[in-house]
Structure 1
Amino acid sequence: MIRFASKRANKVRATSKPLRQVFTDTSAVALTEFAFAAPLVLSMGLLGAETANYAIVHMQVSQLAMQVADNASRVGETQLASKVVYEDDITGTLVGAERLGERFEIYNRGRVIISSLQQNSEGGQWIAWQRCRGAKNYVSQYGTEGTGATGDDFAGMGKTGQVVTASVGTAVMFVEVSYTYEPITPFELFGSSELNYSAAFNIRDTRDLTGLKQRAEPVPVADCATFSAARPS
């Protein structure tokens, strides 16, 4: 009888041992915790990367607009009386923008518009000429070439309360950059956001304000009716 009870007790202990191991074994705790935490950590990492990239692209588009306006205000060939600006000077300025925005494909996803804001013969503001490049279907928000050619109804270029005007005998290079932001993560946290920046610089020297000139060998005009990432041809 005692021997039978002993065998039965041993059998119970042998059966319950695997169950105790299941509840007391901690060898896979770290792996289980990682499985639960990994999606959260990965999501936070992607959120941080997307936010950082979004902020960087914002800054780069803003700086590109400022740099293009600054470059356009300096170009030209000094002659006896005043600096003459040629079509290839502006084309070169747009090529410079291509180099600056190469990382985020500025002309494939965006558009750069350069306007020469001047005073007309009646003392009003007008857009004497305008050149553009980029595949994005975007037109100037403040007027196209020829706007304000006569009269004084055209106030200038820029947002309400921040309108830029040109003084008599000089010009302002007003640049608009529009860019469609593409997310780098599958979450599309910011969607396809439209980034729009503008910048303006007064021309640096006395300039021939009768318009852009062509050299002996004419170059294609960066016409604003064309929507293409390629160089004018």
Structure 2
Amino acid sequence: MLVTVSSMLPKQIRQDSRGLALMEFALCLPLLIIGSLWLLEFGNYCIVRQQISQLALQISDNAARIGTQNSVQTEIDEKQINDLFVGAGLQSGPLNLARNGRVILTSLEVDADQPHGQYLHWQRCYGMLTYPSTYGKQGDGKGNSTVSGMGPANARIVAGSSAPAMFVEIAYQYQPIISARFAPPPLMHEIAAMMVRDNRDTSDPGVNPVNGVNASTCN
């Protein structure tokens, strides 16, 4: 005859279910906490990614607008580029783009020389994160047809003959609020591009030097 432990207990104890709900709650509580933490971290990740995307769009839009009008064309200089980056850093607020990110601003143009292909005329960078451009470096495409534009193959950005494109990449190292174990891969990468709206001077060097101002090169 098989005798179980429960059968050896008094009938009143075996039939007592008053602590059942409490026990079920205790068993479910760890899963509930883990799920809540995951949702909180994932929600914050999505918000930060959206903010980085908006920053990329803002920088490219501002880069397409800046310049000093002379009698014929609009010229840009290193101070204007630096001011553009400083503004982006301030706009990023607690994300601290200067420390946790890398902004790569590229002027995509049509090469004046044969075979008149797409050309990465100049490139400027901001931020301490080490991250090279995904789509090329300054000078790529000069005198050849190796560059077909910038951006993913299904959404390639191409400069017009008289309208450079200000192409922006932002790489950002996500800073978790709880734990990286609850977040997707921490390295974010967002792009944006805007066409220059005026008759910009694209002759070399593209960005005019200013005495006492250091260029934000990507070296």
TM band (smaller chain): 0.7 to 0.9
Query: Which of 135, 149, 157 is the matching residue for 2:150?
Result: 157
C-alpha distance in 2, partners of 1:173/1:147? 15
- Give the equivalent residue in structure 2 for 1:177: 170
Shift, 1:36, TM fit:
3.6
Aligned to 2:161: 168
| Residue range with higher mean Cα deviation, 176-185 or 202-211 | 176-185
Deviation string 1:142-194 (CA, Å, 9 cap, x unpaired) is 11111111122321111113221111122110001111223222361235432
Contact 1:114–1:131 under 8 Å retained in 2: yes
Partner of 1:114: 105
CA distance in 2: counterparts of 1:156 and 1:124, whole angstroms? 9
1:52 aligns to 2:43 (yes or no): yes
The equivalent residue for 1:229 is none
* 1:214 maps to 2:209: yes
| 2:53 partner SS | helix
Does structure 2 conserve the Cα–Cα contact (< 8 Å) formed by 1:172 and 1:203? yes
For 1:60-71, what aligned pairs fall within 5 Å after superposition?
A: 60-71=51-62
Contact 2:103 2:171 in 1 (8 A): yes
Matches within 5 A, 1:1-233: 26=18, 35-121=26-112, 122=114, 123-186=116-179, 188-210=181-203, 211-215=206-210, 217-225=211-219
1:129, CA displacement in angstroms?
A: 0.6
Helix, strand or coil for the counterpart of 1:154? coil
Give the counterpart letter for 1:174 in structure 2: F
**Which segment is superposed worse, 202-211 or 146-155?**
146-155
Report the alpha carbon displacement of residue 32 of structure 1 after superposing the two structures with TM: 5.2
Distance 2:72 2:192 in 1: 28
Match of 1:147, SS state, is: coil
State the alpha-carbon separation in 2 of the partners of residues 66 and 151 from structure 1: 29
Task: Tell me the CA shift for residue 25 of structure 1.
Answer: 9.7
Aligned length: 206
On the 8 A contact 2:163/2:197 being kept in 1, the answer is no
Structure 1 residue 115: Cα displacement = 0.3
Q: Higher Cα Rg: structure 1 or 2?
A: 1
Q: CA deviation at 1:126?
A: 0.6
Farther-moved stretch of structure 1 (28-37 vs 80-89): 28-37
Partner Cα separation in structure 2 for residue 208 and residue 218 of structure 1: 22
Q: Is the 8 A contact 2:105 2:123 kept in 1?
A: yes
Measured in 1, the distance between the counterparts of 2:74 and 2:199 equals 6
TM-score (norm 1): 0.79
Please give the root-mean-square deviation of Cα atoms over the aligned residues, in Å: 2.3
Q: What's the CA shift for 1:73?
A: 0.4
Q: State the identity %.
A: 34
8 A Cα contact 1:183 1:192, kept in partner: no
SS state at 2:106 partner = strand
